[in-house]
Chain A
C-alpha cells in the first residue's frame, strides 16, 4: 500500500505467489514488476486466467499468497475463494488471498472481502507497495486501500437496523479512527504516530475490522453500496 519506507526487505524474506487474472498483459506486467525474486523476495510460482484454472494451479502449487482479480471468467474471484476455502482455513501453510482489481464497484470489493480475501488493492498500485502488501498478507495481516477503508466506514455507518450481533456489527471508536486515517491516505507508520500507538496495534485494529467485515451478520452489507451513492 502506501507504506514505502519499510518496503521490500532482503533476500531472507521469501514469499511464493500465484497470479490470477484473465488479462495476460496484466499478469506479465505484474510478473515483471514484482517477480524479480532476488530484489523483491517474491517468487511467482503460477498463473491462471480463469476460475477453474486458478483452483487447479493453487491446489497444485500451494502458494502463500494469491493475487486475485475480482472479475474472472467462470464465476469471478468470489468463486475461486469459495472453492479454495479449505486451503484458506488450513492450519499449516494457509493460502491467503489479496484482491487486486481495476474495479471500483463497492459490491465487487465487499464481495471478495466477505469471500475471505485478506485485503484489496487497486491496479494503480505501485510495484513497491504491491510487494509490501503481499508480505503483509503473508504475515496474516489485513491490507486496506484508502478506497476500501471508505467503503467499510460507509457500510458500518449506515446502522438503520438494530445490529444482530453488537460485537460484530459495530466498529469501535478506535477502529473508526484507524480506518479514517487509512482513507485519508496515511500509512500504518503515520497512523501509529498520529494516534500514539504502535504499528502492531494499528495492524491488530485493521485485522479486527477485516474480521468484522467477513463475519458480520449485516445482510445489507453487500447491498448498501448500491443504495448509497458512493465513489
Chain B
C-alpha cells in the first residue's frame, strides 16, 4: 500500500498510518470531484489513476461509470485517507510545493473536462432526434446537482479546517452556480417539453420542480442530520467532562492542598473538608444552584437558611444538618426571622455543639414560616441567663416580636435546647 499519509490526516491528530479498521472513506484531500476514486484507490491499494480510468471507461458504457460514481459519492462518507497520487494530470505544481496547490482549480478543470467529454460523447452518439432534446437539460441538471453535492462535502470539511474568507465566497458562488444550472436545466426541459407536447405540461413541471428540490436539498439533509446528531453528542460529552474537570481542579484540589498543609490542625481540616463536601454536594445534587455566586444575596427562604447554616458551620466547626420543606421568596419579615435563626444557630453551635450535629428545620406551610434550631447540648434555663446577656433576649426573641412573629425557647426531653421561630409572611 502506498504511503497513506495525507495532509488532512496529519492535521487531524489521528493516526493515519495504520488505521485499526479499514473503512472506506472518500478522500477529502487532493480530490477532483467527490474524492471517490482517491478513496477507493487508497482502500484497495491501487494507483489512483487506474481507478479514475476505470470510472472513465465505465462511463462510456452507457454512463455506468457516472452512475457508479454518483452512488459512491452519496453513500460513502467523506473522510481522511486515500492515496497520494503520482501527480494528477490537471495539477502542475511539484510535489515539494503541495501547500501551494489549490485543489479547487483542479476540480473545476476536471468538471469542465468532464462536461466537454460528456458533450462530445453525447454529440457522437446518435440517440435519435426524440431523445436529443432531453440530453442537454439533463446534463445541465446533472452538473448543477454535482456542484451542490460537492458543496455538502465542503460544509462538512469546513469544520475540520479553517475556511478563509475567499473560500467562503467560493463556496457561495459554487452553490449558486449549482442552483442556477439546475434551474436552467429544468427551464430548458420545460421549454422543450412545452413545444413538443402541450399535454401533461403541468405534470411534467411539477415532477421537474420536485426532482430539482430533492436533488438540491437531499445531500444537505442526509449529511446534516448525520453530522449534527453525532456532533451534538460529542459536544455534550466534552462539555460535561470539561465542567467536571474544571470543578474538581478548582475546588477539590485546592481544598486537598490546604488540608495537607494544615494537617496538624484538626479543626481547620474538618472545616475545609466540610465546606468542600457541602459545595460538591450542592453542585452534584442541586444543579440549578450552581450558577449562583457566593456573594449574591439569597432570594428565597431555603437559600437563606442553607447559607446561614453554612456560615455558622464554617465559623464554629460544628456540623449543621439542614432540612427545608417548601420554599418561598424572602421578604422583610422573613429576613428578620432569618437573622434570628442565624443567632440561634450560632448559640447552638457554641453551647450545644458537643452533643452532635445541630438540627435546623425550616418549613413553609401556607403563609406561615416555621424554623426550628435544635442542639443536643446541656441545655439552659432562660430565667437563669443574666439580664445583661442580650444575645437570646434581644437578637432572637426581641427581633421576632418586633417583626410580628413569635420565638419559643425550650428544653427538649432527653437533653438539648430547641429554638422555635414562627412568622407570618408579609401579604403581597
In this assembly, does A149 line the interface, its C-beta being within 8 Å of a C-beta of chain B?
yes
* 1/0 contact string of A183-205 vs chain B (CB within 8 Å): 11111011001100000000000
Which residues from A are CB-within-8-Å of B412?
A: 186, 190
How long is the Cα–Cα vector from A150 to B322 in the complex, in angstroms?
Answer: 10
Interface residues of A in 140-168 (CB under 8 A from B): 146-147, 149-150, 153-154, 157
Which residues from B are CB-within-8-Å of A154?
A: 325-326
How long is the Cα–Cα vector from A93 to B325 in the complex, in angstroms?
Answer: 37
Q: A103-B285, A183-B361 are in contact. Are A146 and B414 (CB under 8 A)?
A: no
Contacting residue for A157 out of B285, B288, B323, B365, CB 8 A: B365
Q: A146-B359, A193-B413 are in contact. Are A183 and B325 (CB under 8 A)?
A: yes
Q: How far is the CB of B260 from chain A (nearest CB, A)?
A: 19
In this assembly, does B215 line the interface, its C-beta being within 8 Å of a C-beta of chain A?
no
B323 and A149 form a contact (CB under 8 A): yes
Q: A104-B281, A104-B285, A190-B412 are in contact. Are A231 and B324 (CB under 8 A)?
A: yes
Contacting residue for B414 out of A153, A190, A228, CB 8 A: A190
* 1/0 contact string of B345-377 vs chain A (CB within 8 Å): 000000000000101010101000000101000
Interface residues of A in 206-231 (CB under 8 A from B): 228-231
Contacting residue for B324 out of A150, A189, A193, CB 8 A: A150
Task: Tell me the nearest residue of chain A to B306, going by C-beta.
Answer: A231
B359 and A157 form a contact (CB under 8 A): no
A146 and B326 form a contact (CB under 8 A): no
Which residues from B are CB-within-8-Å of A5?
A: 414
How long is the Cα–Cα vector from A183 to B372 in the complex, in angstroms?
Answer: 10
Contacting residue for B372 out of A184, A190, A193, A230, CB 8 A: A184
A229 and B325 form a contact (CB under 8 A): no
In this assembly, does B334 line the interface, its C-beta being within 8 Å of a C-beta of chain A?
no
A229 and B327 form a contact (CB under 8 A): yes
A193 and B325 form a contact (CB under 8 A): no
A146 and B361 form a contact (CB under 8 A): yes
Q: Which bucket holds chain A's interface residue count?
A: 20 to 34
Q: How far is the CB of B150 from chain A (nearest CB, A)?
A: 48
In this assembly, does B314 line the interface, its C-beta being within 8 Å of a C-beta of chain A?
no
In this assembly, does A180 line the interface, its C-beta being within 8 Å of a C-beta of chain B?
yes
Which residues from A are CB-within-8-Å of B322?
A: 231
Which residues from B are CB-within-8-Å of A180?
A: 361, 363
Q: How far is the CB of A156 from chain B (nearest CB, A)?
A: 10
How long is the Cα–Cα vector from A147 to B281 in the complex, in angstroms?
Answer: 14
Q: A104-B281, A183-B323, A193-B414 are in contact. Are A229 and B300 (CB under 8 A)?
A: yes
B285 and A185 form a contact (CB under 8 A): no
A229 and B286 form a contact (CB under 8 A): yes
In this assembly, does A105 line the interface, its C-beta being within 8 Å of a C-beta of chain B?
yes
B323 and A190 form a contact (CB under 8 A): no
B413 and A231 form a contact (CB under 8 A): no
Task: Tell me the nearest residue of chain B to A104, going by C-beta.
Answer: B285
Q: A185-B374, A194-B413 are in contact. Are A230 and B365 (CB under 8 A)?
A: no
In this assembly, does B424 line the interface, its C-beta being within 8 Å of a C-beta of chain A?
no
Task: Tell me the nearest residue of chain A to B281, going by C-beta.
Answer: A104
Task: Tell me the nearest residue of chain B to A152, going by C-beta.
Answer: B325
How long is the Cα–Cα vector from A157 to B366 in the complex, in angstroms?
Answer: 10
Contacting residue for B413 out of A183, A185, A190, CB 8 A: A190
Q: A183-B323, A184-B361 are in contact. Are A189 and B300 (CB under 8 A)?
A: no
Q: How far is the CB of B327 from chain A (nearest CB, A)?
A: 6
Which residues from B are CB-within-8-Å of A105?
A: 284-285
Q: A184-B359, A184-B374 are in contact. Are A231 and B414 (CB under 8 A)?
A: no
Which residues from B are CB-within-8-Å of A147?
A: 321, 323
Which residues from B are CB-within-8-Å of A230?
A: 302, 324
How long is the Cα–Cα vector from A64 to B112 in the complex, in angstroms?
Answer: 83
Which residues from A are CB-within-8-Å of B361?
A: 146, 150, 180, 183-185
Which residues from A are CB-within-8-Å of B363?
A: 153, 180, 183
How long is the Cα–Cα vector from A185 to B359 in the complex, in angstroms?
Answer: 6
Q: A105-B285, A190-B414, A231-B302 are in contact. Are A185 and B321 (CB under 8 A)?
A: yes
* 1/0 contact string of B259-293 vs chain A (CB within 8 Å): 00000000000000000000001001110110000
Contacting residue for A150 out of B288, B325, B365, CB 8 A: B325
Task: Tell me the nearest residue of chain A to B370, going by C-beta.
Answer: A180
How long is the Cα–Cα vector from A105 to B418 in the complex, in angstroms?
Answer: 27
How long is the Cα–Cα vector from A147 to B361 in the complex, in angstroms?
Answer: 10
How long is the Cα–Cα vector from A150 to B321 in the complex, in angstroms?
Answer: 12
Task: Tell me the nearest residue of chain A to B373, going by C-beta.
Answer: A184
How long is the Cα–Cα vector from A231 to B284 in the complex, in angstroms?
Answer: 12
Q: A190-B414, A231-B302 are in contact. Are A146 and B323 (CB under 8 A)?
A: yes
Contacting residue for B321 out of A146, A153, A186, A189, CB 8 A: A146
Task: Tell me the nearest residue of chain A to B420, going by C-beta.
Answer: A184
Q: How far is the CB of A181 from chain B (nearest CB, A)?
A: 9
Known: A103-B285, A150-B325, A231-B323; 19 extra A-B contacts, CB below 8 A, are A5-B414, A104-B285, A105-B284, A146-B359, A147-B321, A149-B323, A150-B323, A153-B363, A157-B326, A180-B361, A183-B325, A183-B361, A183-B363, A184-B418, A185-B321, A185-B361, A190-B413, A229-B289, A229-B327
Which residues does B use to contact A, with CB under 8 Å? 281, 284-286, 288-289, 300, 302, 306, 321-327, 357, 359, 361, 363, 365, 372, 374, 412-414, 418
14 A-B pairs in the complex with CB atoms less than 8 angstroms apart? A104-B286, A105-B284, A149-B323, A154-B326, A157-B365, A180-B361, A180-B363, A183-B363, A186-B412, A187-B414, A189-B414, A190-B413, A230-B324, A231-B302
Instruction: Sort A-B residue pairs by CB-CB distance and give the 7 closest, nearest first.
Output: A185-B359, A150-B323, A105-B285, A104-B285, A184-B361, A193-B413, A153-B325
Which residues does A use to contact B, with CB under 8 Å? 5, 103-105, 146-147, 149-150, 153-154, 157, 180, 183-187, 189-190, 193-194, 228-231
